[in-house]
Amino acid sequence: MKTGWETKKLGDLFDITSSKRVFKSEWKQEGVPFYRAREIVKLANQGFVDNELFISQEMFDEYSAKSGIPQEGDIMVTGVGTLGICYVVRRNDRFYFKDGNIIWLKKVSDASSRFVEYAFQSDFIRKQIDDSVGATVGTFTIIKAKNTLIPIPPLTEQQRIVAILDEAFDGIATATANAEQNLQNARALFESYLDAVFRQRGEGWVEKRLEDVCVLQRGFDLPTRSRVQGEFPLVSSSGIIDTHNKGPVKGPGVATGRSGSIGNVFFVEEDYWPLNTVLYVKQFHGNSPRFVYRLLKHFDLKRFASGAGVPTLNRNFVHDELVTVPKSKTMQDRIAERLDEIEQETQRLETIYQRKLAALDELKQSLLHQAFAGDL
């Protein structure tokens, strides 16, 4: 470890405790804000919370007098749900919190609360929390918090590291927001173009019942024990799940979820076997299969689902719906081809922005690792 650094337990730096018990029957609709773990997570991520739970001023005053309330520089740490999320209490904060949900780190040393907050984001502490919980859904308890180790340098070095991380993370946050907005814009642009295509009216377009454009038919039963590996895709409501040695429906074809995952639409190039959990297009009436695929994807079939428990899609509810389509199959093919091109470009941009977001997250973790290894 770098000269001047020590490894200490959080219990040596903070008085670690929780709150007095507040029963659900004592929750109010107004008064002093009452935070659970979810509110701490939102405060940590967004800096504010639209609170929905409160306690009375009288109870707040009573608990304040008996055992104190969170003060500036104290750290609130989530002990359930998403574990180890920190919020450093600000000067004008006024709230109480749920015992068992949140651990209260009372500031009793000169350790920088912001430095400790960053430490909780680092792999040094994250790994300790994960190891203490294991594979099961667990809690981060007061005892675990007291025994959590943290590498700690002199205060001036803590402050220097916090300043560097603040500046770097501000820049990363801006870059992340830009990448997320670009990702959202790419998706919105494709959806906007798609919507514009299927809103078209006028010359070359005609309004028809969906059944006159494509006829939907329930798929075929095929028990697992009867399936034989082969060259033909086996299509369920969630997509291609296997193969079979028979393909009763000629490709290219279109299928959509009938039971289970309703609304998913799949295009299959080759002959295939649609299972009984799907509706497949039995008759295209001379229309372009690729265009029909796009039409059904845009059609929002989920709204026709019915039944309690496991909802199902009844083709009879869908067949009478009116849709507008080009008269010409050539025009349909051209539109479908253009939509494919735009979707591919959208997916390319999405991949770029998602990689950028992943790289920014990796940069944050790299900076945190350097900071708590004493290499920043």
Residue 130 belongs to domain with CATH number: 3.90.220.20
> Omega of the bond prior to 252 within 30 degrees of 0, cis?
yes
CA atoms within 13 A on the CB side of 36: 13
Domain membership flag for residue 1: no
Domain membership flag for residue 148: yes
* Burial classification of residue 362, based on how many CB atoms lie within 10 Å of its CB (0-12 exposed, 13-18 middle, 19 or more buried): exposed
Ranges of beta strands (E only) in 179-245 are: 205-209, 215-218, 232-236, 239-244
Say yes or no: 33 and 121 in one domain. yes
Q: From first to last of its 376 residues, what are the pLDDT tens digits of the chain?
A: 688 899 999 999 999 999 999 999 999 999 999 999 999 999 999 988 988 899 999 999 999 999 999 999 999 999 999 999 999 999 999 999 999 899 999 999 999 999 999 999 999 999 999 888 765 568 899 999 999 999 999 999 999 999 999 999 999 999 999 999 999 999 999 989 888 888 877 789 999 999 999 999 999 999 999 999 999 999 999 999 999 999 999 999 999 999 888 889 999 999 999 999 999 999 999 999 999 999 999 988 888 887 666 778 889 889 999 999 999 999 999 999 999 999 999 999 999 999 999 999 999 999 999 999 988 8
CA distance 350 to 162: 33
CATH number of the domain within which 169 lies: 1.10.287
How many Å from the N-terminal Cα to the C-terminal Cα in the chain?
A: 13
Domain membership flag for residue 227: yes
Structural domains counted in the chain: 3
Say yes or no: 187 and 225 in one domain. no
Tell me the whole-structure pTM to 2 decimals. Answer: 0.76
Say yes or no: 186 and 72 in one domain. no
Q: Which domain holds residue 347?
A: 154-199+328-376
